Structure 1
Amino acid sequence: MVGAGLSGAVIGRKLAEAGHSIVVCDERNHIAGNCYTERDSDTGVMVHVYGPHIFHTDDEEVWSYVNSFQTFLPFVNRVKTTSGGRVYLLPVNLHTINQFFGKTLRPDEARDFITSIAESSIEDPKTFEEQALKFVGRDLYEAFFKGYTVKQWGCSPTELPASILKRLPVRFNYDDNYFFHRFQGMPENGYTEMVERILKHDRIEVRLSHRFTRSDTHDFDHVFYSGPLDGYYDFELGRLGYRTLDFERFNYDGDYQGCAVMNYGDLGVPYTRITEHKHFSPWEKHEKSICYREFSRACEEGDIPYYPIRMADEKALLERYVERASAEQQVTFVGRLGTYRYLDMDVTIREALDTANAYLGSLAGQAKLGAFFVTP
C-alpha cells in the first residue's frame, strides 16, 4: 500500500484480514494522510493539521465501518461567510436571502423573487458564472460565489465549467446544515487514532518516511498506489494540475469567531476562509483557540496537492497517463491522487472496500482487477 491515508489503510486492513501480508509505506513521517490530526500540547485543541475534514455520508456500511475503529460524535457543519462587511449563513438559504435583500419573504415568495432576479436569458449555461447567474442572479453571485471562486481556483469563473456548480446553490428554508447526508460527525479522538486502529493488525507492517519507487513494484505480488498518478511515472508525460493550500496558523486567547468555518467572499481579502479548530470538537471545552487562515494557489513541485483542476489540458494529459497505467499488470491506482479525482472521505473508504473485495475476487478466479477499480 503506497500511502498510509484512508485508501491504503482500508485496503490493507481488508486484505490482512483475508490472510495477506501487507506493507504500508508513506513518504511522510506520520499516518492518516491529509486527514492527520494531532492534539496541541499548549491549548489541548485537536488540530486538523492539513485543514478540516468533516465526515458526512449516506452510506450506512461506511458509517458503521468508521465507527468500529473510532467513536464518531455529532457535528453539523454550519458555515458562515463574511461579504461586504456583514456575516451571512451558508449555503444561501431563506435567512441569507431575507438578510441580504432586507426582506421578510416566505419560501414561495423567495423562490419567485430569486426567479425574477435570475438571468433567464441564459438557456444553456456553459461556464460557472453563467450557471450562477441563471440560478441566483448577479447580486448573490457577486456577493457569495464570484470572489471566493476566483481565490479558490485562481482563475475567472468565466473559465470554469458550469459542472462545478452542479446544483441550485440556494435553499428556500432556514436549513443551514452545510451537508445533506444522514450521517455526520467527527471522530472523538481524531482521525489519526482511527487510522492507527485500522492499521493495527499482525499482518500489517507500516514504514514511514519511506519513498516508494516504481522499481519497488516487483518486490510485491500487487501494489495499491494512492500517490499521484503522474508521480508514479516520474512525471514523464508532464504534471497534472492541482491547487494546493497554505495555512497561516495563529493562536487566540478565547473564542476568535464563534464558529468552525468562516468564509470570506470578498476579493480584497486574500484568504478564502478561517477555520477555528476547537469548534470541530464541540463536546470539548478549551479556553484558548487555534485558527487557520487558508490560502489557495497553484500547486508547484514539492507542494502537497489538494484539489485536481481537471480542466481541458489536464484531462488530455490524464487520458495519456490512464492509457499508460492500463498496461500495468500488478498495480492498481486508488484514492484522490491515484485517480486524479476530488473524493470525500466516505467515497474514498467505499471505493477502498470495494477495491479490496474486487482484488480478493480476482484471486478467487473472478474478473481480474486492473489498474483502476474506478476509471478516472
Structure 2
Amino acid sequence: MTKNVAIIGAGFSGAVIAHQLAKAGYQVEVFESRSHIAGNCHSERDAETNVMVHIYGPHIFHTDNERVWKFVNEFSEFKPYVNRVKAITNNRVYTLPINLLTINQFFNKTLRPAEAQEFLAEQGDKTIENPVTFEDQALRFVGRDLYEAFFKTYTVKQWGLDPTELPASILKRLPVRFNYDDNYFSHKYQGMPKDGYTAIVEKILDVPGITVHLNTPFKPEQKSDYAHVFYSGPIDAWFGHREGRLPYRTLDFEVHRDQGDYQGNAVINYCDNAQRYTRITEHKHFSPWEQHEGTVCYFEYSRQCEEGDTPYYPIRLARDKVQLEKYVNLANDEPNVTFIGRLGTYRYLDMDVTIDEALKTADKFLECANEKAQMPAFVINPLG
C-alpha cells in the first residue's frame, strides 16, 4: 500500500491517528479548514487577562481508560482538577450532580443517606413502569419537584425540545448520589493540561512525516490522491447533504471580562427561565494553579445549528436514525475513506472516548495494511 494518507480535521481524532501512522512510517497530510488546530478543544491565552480560555466552551479531561491517560500524559503535565458544578434555580444555589446536600437543601431536611434514598424513592412516579422519554425517566427517578427545578427548563434551553420528545437514555447518564460527593465526574483520572489542549495537539502532531495545512478545506474528489482518507468532518457534508442535513445543536458565547472573581466557581448552570443562557463558565477557575487579576466569563446559549455554524451536539432522535442510516450505507460504499470522531460518526463523544477510538482506528488501519485487507468505513458503528 502506498504510504500516503490524508486526515481531515486537526482535532483529537485526526491528530491521534496522524501521530500513530506517522510513527509507523506513513506520510500524513492533515487538512484543517479552521485557522487553528485542536478542533473544539482549542484553547488559548486571552490577550487582555492572560487567562487560558477554552474557546469553544469548557473541556474537562476525565477517564478510566489507562491507555488514554498514559497517552495524553506523554504530551502534557496534567494538573489536578475536580469539576464542581453549581446550579441556580428559583433564586437559590445548589450543587450538582444531585447529591445528599442538594436533596437536603432543596427539601429543607437533614436526611441521612438511607433516609434520603427512601425519601427520593417516595417522590418518584411508580406508575411509570417503563420510561420511554426523558420526562418519564426523570419523574420516575427523582420525582416532579426535582425534575422541574433542575431538568425540565434546562433541557428545553439546551436541546430546544420538550423533554417528552427526548429519549430516556439521556437522563440515565445523570447520577444521583446519596452522599456529599460533589465531584461532577466519577472517573479514576481527572485533570486539566497545564498548558491547555492546543499545546497537547501541537505535540501530538510534532512527528516527522506529518504535514498540517490550516485554512485548507478538503474536497471529496481529492481522495484519489491518497491511499486512504480519514474524515472527521460531518458525515452528511462529505456526501453533499444529499439525504438532508443531520440536526445538531450549536452554541453562542457572550464573552464578559472583568476584574476579580465574577462568580466564585468554574461552572454555574441556570436551570429556570430567569435567564436565556444555560450556564456561565469562568475560565480562570479551570486553572486554579494560576493567579489572575482579571477574569473571562462565557455566557452560553444553545440553539439549532444552521448552515455555517459550528456543530456541537448531535441530537440523535429516533427519526434522525433513519436519515443517519442512509449516510452510513453511503459511507460503507465509499472506498478508502474511514469516518471518525464526533462529526464523522454523528455521536456525542467525550475527549477520552475520542482518543480511545482514534487509537483503535489507527491500530485497525495498520492491521489491515499488514494483512492487505480493506479498511472499513467505520471502526465503531454509528448505529450501535
TM over 0.5: yes
**What number of residue pairs does the alignment pair up?**
376
Whether 1:294 and 2:300 are equivalent positions in the alignment is yes
Q: Return the alpha-carbon distance in structure 2 between the equivalents of residues 200 and 116 of structure 1.
A: 57
> Which residue number corresponds to residue 315 of structure 1?
321
Aligned pairs for 1:330-349 (under 5 A) are: 330-349=336-355
Equivalent AA in structure 2 for residue 125 of structure 1: P
1:24 is aligned, of 30, 46, 66, to 30
Q: Contact conserved, 2:97 with 2:174, CA < 8 A, in 1?
A: no
The alignment's TM-score, normalised by the length of structure 1, stands at 0.99
- How far 1:366 moved relative to its partner? 6.6
Alignment deviations for residues 220-259 of structure 1 (CA, whole Å, 9 cap, x no partner): 0100000000010111111000000000001011101110
**Equivalent position of 1:151 in the other structure:** 157
User: Equivalent residue for 1:363?
Assistant: 369
State the AA in 1 paired with 2:40: N
Moved over 4 A (4+): none
- Matching residue's letter, 2:337: V
User: What secondary structure does 2:327 align onto?
Assistant: helix
Q: Find the residue that maps to 1:155 and give its secondary structure.
A: coil
Q: Which residue of 1 aligns with 2:77?
A: 71
1:48 to 2:57 alignment = no
| Residues in 1 aligned to 2:276 and 2:86: alpha-carbon distance in whole angstroms | 17
Distance 2:266 2:128 in 1: 36
- Among 263, 273, 278, the alignment partner of 1:272 is 278
Distance in 2, Cα, partners of 1:78 & 1:196: 29
SS in 2 for 1:354: helix
Is 2:288 the counterpart of 1:256? no
Q: Equivalent of 2:63, from 57, 60, 78?
A: 57
Displacement of 1:313 after TM fit?
2.3
- Find 2:144's aligned residue among 113, 130, 138: 138
TM-score (normalizing by structure 2): 0.97
The answer on whether the counterparts of 1:135 and 1:168 sit within 8 Å (CA) in structure 2 is: no
* Alignment deviations for residues 253-279 of structure 1 (CA, whole Å, 9 cap, x no partner): 110111000000002310100000000
Specify the alignment match of 2:170 in structure 1. Answer: 164
Residues 357/168 of structure 1: CA separation in 2 closer, same or farther (3 Å cut):
closer
* Change in 2 beyond 3 A, CA 1:167/1:356: closer
Identity of aligned residues (%): 62
Q: Distance in 2 between matches of 1:49 and 1:125?
A: 37
For 1:283, the aligned partner's letter is W
> Paired residue for 1:194?
200
Cα distance in 2, alignment partners of residues 192 and 221 from structure 1: 28
8 Å Cα contact 1:127/1:161 also seen in 2: yes
The alpha carbon displacement at 1:94 in A equals 0.2
Please report how far the alpha carbon of residue 159 of structure 1 lies from its aligned counterpart in structure 2 after TM superposition: 0.8
Taking a change above 3 Å as real, the CA distance of residues 236 and 168 of structure 1, as seen in their structure-2 partners, is closer
1:54-80 residue CA offsets vs partner (Å, 9 max, x unmatched): 100000110010010011110000000
> For 1:304, which of 310, 313, 327 is the aligned residue?
310
Q: Which amino acid aligns with 1:209?
A: N
| CA 139–53 in structure 1, closer or farther in 2 if over 3 Å, else same | same
Report the AA paired with residue 336 of structure 2.
Q
Query: In 2, are the aligned partners of 1:3 and 1:27 still within 8 Å (CA)?
Result: yes
SS in 2 for 1:216: helix
Give the Cα–Cα distance (whole angstroms) in 1 for the partners of residues 351 and 80 of structure 2.
17
Aligned partners of 2:11 and 2:39 also within 8 Å: yes
CA deviation after TM superposition for structure 1 residue 42, in Å: 1.5
Contact 2:32 2:215 in 1 (8 A): yes
1:3 counterpart residue number: 9
AA partner of residue 329 (structure 1): P
What is the distance in 1 between the residues matched to 2:276 and 2:293?
A: 28
Mapped contact 2:284–2:296 kept (Cα < 8 A): yes
Q: Secondary structure at the match of 1:250?
A: strand
Q: Secondary structure at the match of 2:146?
A: helix
SS at match of 1:259: coil
Q: For the residues of structure 2 that align with 1:11 and 1:86, how far apart are their CA atoms?
A: 46
Root mean square deviation of aligned Cα: 0.9
Partner of 1:207: 213
Deviation at 1:367, TM superposition (A): 5.3
Does the aligned pair in 2 maintain the 1:128–1:159 contact within 8 Å?
A: yes
Distance 1:89 1:228, change over 3 A: same
- Alignment of 1:106 with 2:91, yes or no, is no
* Counterpart check, 1:219 vs 2:225: yes
SS at match of 2:8: coil
Matches of 1:118 and 1:105, distance apart in 2: 17
Aligned AA (1:162): A
Query: Residues 176-204 of structure 1, C-alpha deviation per residue, up to 9 Å, x if partnerless?
Result: 00001000000000000100000011200
Q: How far apart, CA to CA, are the structure 2 residues paired with 1:45 and 1:311?
A: 38
